[in-house]
Amino acid sequence: MSDPMPNAQPQFLTVGEGEAAREIAILARPAQAGNTAPSLVWLPGYRSDMNGTKAVELDGLAVELGAGCIRLDYSGHGLSGGSFRDGTISRWLEEALAVIRHLAPDRIILVGSSMGGWIALRLAQELARQGGPKLAGLVLIAPAPDFTSELIEPNLTAKERKSLAERGYFEERSQYSPEPNIYMQALIEDGRKNLVLDGMIETGCPVHILQGMKDPDVPHAHAMKLLEHLPADDVVLTFIRDGDHRLSRPGDIALLLSAVKGIVRASTTGQ
């Protein structure tokens, strides 16, 4: 179904100034002429990039719908510059916002996976506050808002706390890579400045959450907690009984694409 733009060359956008400047890689598919569907914006998870299975399938859906599609790599990820260890929610949020403003679509649907779900919710807040493209919907896959304070800090071992205090980071084995996950003290401290589960979240658009019930990284109770903070929005929560964190199996992908299609359809019919 998909045309993953195998030979497409990424654009690069400089975000930040001076020593904070970094080159952010973007793959942007323009909408077909005359197409009024919202552009799809892919927001990857922690240590993920814009060429993963879900990202490529989302781009393929854009081809099917004639819609635009925007993918990016956060700094320290994929093809983008910058050091991963310098990454924080504020930094990656700044990059995503800069890319959206640079490409300036009229309307967007944010599709965020894991940490990308947190970035999506923060983007919704910033776009409402600062202005920008109209948000037509959010699709959140195993969303991990506030994961630094909700999922990491309460479960730190004595050894990890000591490593944070003495080295400024700690490592843990990754299920998805031979390289360990690294969590910096700066990431954890910055996370406290970007909390979204400390009050009501008003996105002003439909939200569809997809959550696996066998997710070892983000428990499905976390999705229920997020739901409680979205009281004013049209929210659908789909539990996948045997779903893991990645939700990249064919059946999971079908659910993702169906959720996006549903929001696109509603946004173009005014329903």
Q: Which of 15, 45, 39 is nearest to 27 (CA)?
A: 39
Average pLDDT, whole number, for the chain?
94
Using one digit for the tens of pLDDT, what is the confidence trace for 46-86?
A: 999 999 999 999 999 999 999 999 999 999 999 999 999 99
Structural domain that includes position 192:
11-269
3-state SS string over 141-172? Answer: ECCCCCHHHHHHHHHCCHHHHHHHHHHCEEEE
Domain assignment present for residue 52? The answer is yes
Query: What CATH number should be reported for the domain holding residue 64?
Result: 3.40.50.1820
Domain assignment present for residue 1? The answer is no
With vertex at residue 210, the alpha carbon angle to CA 67 and CA 132, rounded to the nearest 5 degrees, is 45
Q: How confident is the model at residue 270 (pLDDT cuts 50, 70, 90)?
A: low
Spatial separation of the C-alpha atoms in residues 88 and 14, rounded to whole Å: 17
Domain assignment present for residue 5? The answer is no
Q: Has residue 5 got a pLDDT over 70?
A: no
Region 137-166: what's the mean pLDDT? 97
| Counted domains in the chain | 1
- Cβ-proximal residues to 131 (8 Å cutoff; 6+ apart), any chain: none
Domain assignment present for residue 3? The answer is no
Domain assignment present for residue 227? The answer is yes
Q: With a threshold of 0.85, does the pTM exceed it?
A: yes
Q: Has residue 254 got a pLDDT over 50?
A: yes
Q: Contact, 48 vs 84, CB < 8 A?
A: no
User: How many CB atoms are located within 10 Å of the residue 193 CB?
Assistant: 9
